[in-house]
Structure 1
Amino acid sequence: MLLDAWIAVGVVLTIFPLMTLSRLGPDIILLGAVVVLMTLGIIDPQQALGGFSNSGLFTVAFMYVLVASIRETGGIDLIIRYVLGRPNSERGALVRLLLPVASLSGFLNNTPVVATYIPAVMSWSRRLRLSPQRLLMPLSFASILGGTITLFGTSTNLVVHGLLVERHPALAMGLFDLAWVGIPVALAGLAYLIFLGPRLLPSREGMSKAFANPREFTIEMEVDPVGVLVDRTVEEAGLRHLQELFLVEIERAGNVVSVVGPGEQLKAGDRLVFVGTSDAAVELQQIRGLIPSRDEASSLEKEFKERRLVEAVVSNQCQFIGQRIRDGRFRTLYGAVVLAICRGGERVTGNLGQVRLQPADVLLLEARPPFIERHRQSKDFLLISELNGSARPVHEKAPLAWAILLGAVLLAALGVLSMLNAAMLGAALALLSGCCSVGAAKRGLDTQVLLTIAASFGVGAALQTSGAADFLAGSVLSLVAGNPMLLLITTYCVVAMLTELVTNNAAAVIIFPVVMAAAESLGVNPMPYVVAVMFAASASFLTPIGYQTNLMVHGPGGYRVSDFLRVGGGLNLLTGAIALTLIPLVWPF
């Protein structure tokens, strides 16, 4: 191998552990890799930026706008309201939940589908007296399975197809070509979840019980009407920097002052709500001018229009990961106060100010009403939902948004327009019809995914042009002894393993040139290997970090990594076996 090829391989071998172990986002790591490769002359600027002109990338971007129009009009809520209902058994509940989710995920990005369903499933499970743990993991897995049915199903399918068309235009696939394998895989996976899932899923109390009683983690005091704190500010009263306590809100004359600032003036009879450790209550008792609250009803159990209790799932991209809540100035940045933290299905006890945030932590926040809309699309949170809140109302344009999406799908499926043109037309109609505002469309674009995809193209180009892909392909061929079927199995297993550790898009795009070089050296049809890459990149059931929807349900469901291994291990083997059996039959070597 030439020096350029060794450098390209070295960069790739550095990328994967960095994605797995560091707190940097995959987009930053891959963009950094592209900069290094371009600086060293392994790729030229045109190759480095080639991903930004790929048709697959733009198709993904326009599909995000279509998905945003469904979300903004409450289109998924419409299905939730009429489909969930009141089943008579747990398996009946799984059928009502999983079949629509898998169907939706064939045409919509999985993340907004799961994000919309989670709050509905949490309240639905309470009505059915089922633990949310019995439903949330199957919800995520069903969305993944549904994404394998069509080329629109996942961004990975669109991107890999874009790479294929660039290399071999004659091999372009139709929208439903994957369904020959995708439907059997999805049906087998759903049957596994419905019939075996209830035996494998955990049944612990989880987050809903951890946050059930606000009185357990709040301490309430009153301002003595004749005490020294009357008319003093919070800062002057010494209540701003207590060691193990946060002043959350003030209840005053039937109203509430939430997210209290240091300049807020205390009045006689104010009820002060603190969050902190029970031991810290002694510190409050010693503050002159404060007396124990005489009202037995907890302030947090009362309804105030100025306050919202919100559950937020921490993203692995949150800027506070690894930081203590107090040090990170959480209240200042978000205008919200952390009341409690749930991790692994159990509430974190002790001094909240000293807790270092981790991905998938579920935070119980008190915030003002604008917080939800302002941060709903924040990359710091995977999911934000109002505590015990009902589903978002169905708007009158939901049918039109669905009609636009279905129209785009039909135009692409019938070959009237290319997938890029159909998605572009659909996005334009969604904006012009008012189903989606420009602001909502911008918020709906997952820039991290788009940048990750674009940068992955640069890394893939480095492997191809430097000769590293041919060398690696030759090494793989020697291992599989030139057997096309063994090469297919190896391709599937490698991509499936990488996708559990890093982003599925990056794994697919970087491995693609190696797989294509191996197929071309073997002199066989590359299509089975392309399809294997698509399916393996979606087969992410083993870990919570392997797929974003898994991370989204990890916290609210109170799951442990062992739960994903137990339920997802069998599902990985089942879907892999079916895919590897059917792919060569549909696309012969």
Structure 2
Amino acid sequence: MTIEIGFVILILILMLLGLVFEVTRPDIILFFTLSLLLLSGVLTTEEALNGFSNEGMLTIALLFVVAAAIQKSGIADRVITKLLGNGKSIRKSLFKILIPVTTFSSVLNNTPIVVTLTPILRKWCSDHQLSPSKFLIPLSYATILGGTLTLIGTSTNLVVHGMLLDTGMKGFTFFQIGFVAFPAVILGLLYIILIGYKLLPDHKVLLDKVNEHSKEYISQMEVGLDFPFLNQPVEAAGLRRLKGLFLIEIIRKDEKVSPVKSTTIIRQGDKLIFTGLISTIVELQKIKGLRLKTDSDFSLDMLKNGNTQLVEAVVSHHSTLLYKKIQDSYFRGKFDAGVIAVHRHRERIKSKIGDITLRPGDALLLLCGPDFDKKMSQSNDFYVTTPLTTPSILEDQRKGWFSFILLLAMIILVTLNILSMLKAMIILVCMLLLLKVITPEEAMKSFHFPVLLLIACAFGIGTALLESGTASYLASGLVQFAQPFGILAVIGVLYLVTNILTEIITNSAAAVIMIPISLEVAQQVGVDPIPLVLAITIAASASFSTPIGYQTNLIVYGPGGYKFIDYVKIGIPLNIIVMFSTVFMIYTFWI
């Protein structure tokens, strides 16, 4: 092992540790990794920047625009709502949902599908006295399975496709991955619908849970005539930065003031609503003129008025709020919303709201003002998982179907090898813009720049593994271990290592690490690299056993009230089903 290979392996280990322990956002970790490889001379400037012009990455960027055009029409939620009907059988309802969801996610980004359908499913479950925790993990898994059916089904497929093109290989055809994955998708759906859902808990949603125990979350103080700061702003009264408490709303006769600003005037008779560490309310009772109210019938719904709404949201993988304290992120001003509670791993964080440092997957209970919808739509910081009273997007079903038909037309042209995937997406986006199906502003907002940065940096890291000889070195060790047991064992080990990586880091990062190794393994064993690459591509997407490996798993984590073990119980059998089916198909038809 040379010094350069040792250095690259060290950098790779540090990157993996950073991703596993969530030191900062994944895209920032990969950016620092790429920067170190560039500054150390392992990569040239051209090699480091190659990912930013890669065909796979650019195709993903354009698909964000296409997905936004279709999503704004509300096609997916209209179809699912109609299919659900009034059924009360979990198994039949899952069948009605998962088949179309799998189909949609084969040609659309699965993240917006899960974001769109999560609040719809939760409301439907509430209306029919069913637990949403029986439906949300299956929803996520169905979109992951559907994403393996086509080249554009998931960003991982396009990342691998782009890497193959960079190495001078032909890349995937549109349905090549799906040919291998189709049996796994069918078996996976049957497992979820017939057996898997029984392994899931029967939980209430966060909002219902909080309402049942509202006294643990909120407390009322009434302002008396002897309060020394009457008719003065909140800031002057010293109620802005309290120990353990956060002033979320003021109820003034028939008026409700929320979110509360530092300039809001306090008047006699005001009911001050606090959240946070309610146990510290005794400190407020020491202030002259403030009296604790103990209304037994007070609930969270009483906080709402015509301009405010209670909303649940999940912090995204790529949020600008990550690893910041809520008070340091200027949350109230940025989103016109106050945080009532934060749940992590299904447990409420018992701390002063402003002192809580946010992490991916945190479930937030928000009291939102009238500008929340507009401000939220301009951000990718979190996913809203409850229906909004005022939709943040304009629904135009006709334009949505038109976009979908155009997408299918482009897919046909790609399948017939008339156009490359990148050219087809360029034409499609241009048509959507020219025909005003989507505006330039909406197109710009649809780009998930942290995702694109992560993918672009990942390409450079993959190049470093190849050019430094690290991929060859690691491949030699893998071949020495697995080759004595035959080529089937080689495929199985590649799949298993990729699958383990994708459960603890991002799927794109797992694919980018393993693809250079698989190419070297193919060369050393003397087989066609495509079957090995196909195994890694599917393994990188098949993240079912943890909530952190795939973004859609993280989205439903809080809203479903799940624990980590819930993913393990339902996910490991599904991982095994997909693995054996994939390896069998590759061994039967390619080796």
TM-score scaled by length of structure 2? 0.92
SS at match of 2:558: helix
Aligned to 2:478: 476
State whether residues 372 and 385 of structure 1, in contact with CA within 8 Å, keep that contact through their aligned partners in structure 2: no
Query: Are residues 1:453 and 2:475 paired?
Result: no
Q: Give the superposition deviation at 1:385.
A: 3.9
Distance (Å, rounded) in 2 between the aligned partners of 1:463 and 1:277: 49
Distance (Å, rounded) in 2 between the aligned partners of 1:413 and 1:99: 23
Distance (Å, rounded) in 1 between the aligned partners of 2:13 and 2:23: 17
Distance (Å, rounded) in 2 between the aligned partners of 1:526 and 1:314: 38
Distance (Å, rounded) in 1 between the aligned partners of 2:281 and 2:39: 59
Q: Which moved more, 1:490-499 or 1:20-29?
A: 20-29
Q: Which residue identity does 1:398 align to in structure 2?
A: G
Q: Which residue identity does 1:198 align to in structure 2?
A: Y
Q: Which residue identity does 1:313 align to in structure 2?
A: V
Aligned to 2:501: 498
Aligned to 2:525: 522
Aligned pairs, number: 587
Q: Give the superposition deviation at 1:209.
A: 2.9
State whether residues 324 and 357 of structure 1, in contact with CA within 8 Å, keep that contact through their aligned partners in structure 2: yes
Distance (Å, rounded) in 1 between the aligned partners of 2:35 and 2:238: 51
Q: Which residue identity does 1:181 align to in structure 2?
A: V
Q: Which moved more, 1:530-539 or 1:253-262?
A: 253-262
Q: Which moved more, 1:542-551 or 1:20-29?
A: 20-29
Note the 1:428-467 alignment, pairs <5 A.
Answer: 428-467=430-469
Cα root mean square deviation, aligned = 2.6
Distance (Å, rounded) in 2 between the aligned partners of 1:36 and 1:393: 44
- Residue in structure 1 matching 2:513, options 506, 510, 525: 510
SS at match of 2:364: strand
Aligned to 2:270: 270
Structure 2 unaligned segments of length 5 or more: list them: none
Aligned to 1:398: 400
Aligned to 2:314: 313
Q: Give the superposition deviation at 1:564.
A: 0.7
Distance (Å, rounded) in 2 between the aligned partners of 1:497 and 1:242: 45
Distance (Å, rounded) in 2 between the aligned partners of 1:294 and 1:543: 42
Q: 1:38 to 1:228 in 2, by over 3 A?
A: closer
State whether residues 220 and 292 of structure 1, in contact with CA within 8 Å, keep that contact through their aligned partners in structure 2: yes
* Percent pairwise identity: 37
SS at match of 2:107: coil
State whether residues 224 and 290 of structure 1, in contact with CA within 8 Å, keep that contact through their aligned partners in structure 2: yes
- Residue in structure 1 matching 2:553, options 522, 530, 550: 550
Distance (Å, rounded) in 1 between the aligned partners of 2:15 and 2:227: 62
Distance (Å, rounded) in 1 between the aligned partners of 2:335 and 2:196: 38
Q: 1:281 to 1:514 in 2, by over 3 A?
A: closer
Q: Give the superposition deviation at 1:80.
A: 2.6
Distance (Å, rounded) in 2 between the aligned partners of 1:63 and 1:547: 19
Q: Give the superposition deviation at 1:417.
A: 1.4
Q: Which residue identity does 2:45 align to in structure 1?
A: P
Q: 1:440 to 1:458 in 2, by over 3 A?
A: same
Distance (Å, rounded) in 1 between the aligned partners of 2:330 and 2:390: 27
Q: 1:197 to 1:236 in 2, by over 3 A?
A: same
Q: Which moved more, 1:385-394 or 1:37-46?
A: 385-394
State whether residues 122 and 386 of structure 2, in contact with CA within 8 Å, keep that contact through their aligned partners in structure 1: no
SS at match of 1:76: helix
Q: 1:255 to 1:438 in 2, by over 3 A?
A: farther
State whether residues 372 and 384 of structure 1, in contact with CA within 8 Å, keep that contact through their aligned partners in structure 2: no
Q: Give the superposition deviation at 1:13.
A: 2.6
State whether residues 494 and 518 of structure 2, in contact with CA within 8 Å, keep that contact through their aligned partners in structure 1: yes
Q: Give the superposition deviation at 1:268.
A: 4.0
State whether residues 188 and 577 of structure 2, in contact with CA within 8 Å, keep that contact through their aligned partners in structure 1: yes
State whether residues 210 and 347 of structure 1, in contact with CA within 8 Å, keep that contact through their aligned partners in structure 2: no
Q: Give the superposition deviation at 1:137.
A: 0.7
Deviation sequence 1:156-202 (CA, Å, 0-9, x none):
11121122233344x44321122222221111100000011132111
Q: Give the superposition deviation at 1:71.
A: 1.8
Q: Give the superposition deviation at 1:308.
A: 2.4
Distance (Å, rounded) in 1 between the aligned partners of 2:586 and 2:281: 64
State whether residues 210 and 342 of structure 1, in contact with CA within 8 Å, keep that contact through their aligned partners in structure 2: no
Distance (Å, rounded) in 1 between the aligned partners of 2:328 and 2:74: 38
Q: Which moved more, 1:57-66 or 1:10-19?
A: 10-19
Note the 1:348-359 alignment, pairs <5 A.
Answer: 348-349=349-350, 351-359=352-360
State whether residues 207 and 312 of structure 2, in contact with CA within 8 Å, keep that contact through their aligned partners in structure 1: no
Deviation sequence 1:11-44 (CA, Å, 0-9, x none):
2232212211242222222222222222222221
Aligned to 1:191: 190
Distance (Å, rounded) in 2 between the aligned partners of 1:223 and 1:470: 72
Note the 1:175-190 alignment, pairs <5 A.
Answer: 175-190=174-189
Query: Are residues 1:538 and 2:557 paired?
Result: no
Note the 1:127-138 alignment, pairs <5 A.
Answer: 127-138=127-138
Q: Give the superposition deviation at 1:400.
A: 2.0
Q: Give the superposition deviation at 1:73.
A: 2.4
Q: 1:75 to 1:271 in 2, by over 3 A?
A: same
Q: Give the superposition deviation at 1:299.
A: 7.7
Distance (Å, rounded) in 1 between the aligned partners of 2:252 and 2:557: 38
Note the 1:249-264 alignment, pairs <5 A.
Answer: 249-252=249-252, 254-264=254-264
SS at match of 1:49: helix
Distance (Å, rounded) in 2 between the aligned partners of 1:78 and 1:264: 42
Q: Give the superposition deviation at 1:503.
A: 1.1
Q: 1:301 to 1:96 in 2, by over 3 A?
A: farther
Q: Give the superposition deviation at 1:357.
A: 3.5
Aligned to 1:121: 121
Q: 1:566 to 1:377 in 2, by over 3 A?
A: farther
Distance (Å, rounded) in 2 between the aligned partners of 1:98 and 1:541: 16
Distance (Å, rounded) in 1 between the aligned partners of 2:194 and 2:87: 16
Q: Give the superposition deviation at 1:78.
A: 2.4
Distance (Å, rounded) in 2 between the aligned partners of 1:40 and 1:284: 57
Q: 1:390 to 1:445 in 2, by over 3 A?
A: closer
Q: Give the superposition deviation at 1:120.
A: 0.6
Q: 1:465 to 1:138 in 2, by over 3 A?
A: same
Distance (Å, rounded) in 2 between the aligned partners of 1:31 and 1:349: 34
State whether residues 249 and 303 of structure 2, in contact with CA within 8 Å, keep that contact through their aligned partners in structure 1: no
Aligned to 1:58: 58
State whether residues 207 and 346 of structure 1, in contact with CA within 8 Å, keep that contact through their aligned partners in structure 2: no
State whether residues 340 and 365 of structure 1, in contact with CA within 8 Å, keep that contact through their aligned partners in structure 2: yes
Aligned to 2:84: 84
Distance (Å, rounded) in 1 between the aligned partners of 2:318 and 2:541: 21
Q: Which residue identity does 1:112 align to in structure 2?
A: P
Q: Give the superposition deviation at 1:346.
A: 4.1
Structure 1 unaligned segments of length 5 or more: list them: none
State whether residues 477 and 487 of structure 1, in contact with CA within 8 Å, keep that contact through their aligned partners in structure 2: yes
Aligned to 1:10: 10
Deviation sequence 1:445-488 (CA, Å, 0-9, x none):
12222112211221221221222222222222222236322211
Q: Which moved more, 1:179-188 or 1:282-291?
A: 282-291
Q: Which moved more, 1:255-264 or 1:391-400?
A: 391-400
Distance (Å, rounded) in 2 between the aligned partners of 1:87 and 1:250: 42
SS at match of 1:481: helix
TM-score scaled by length of structure 1? 0.92
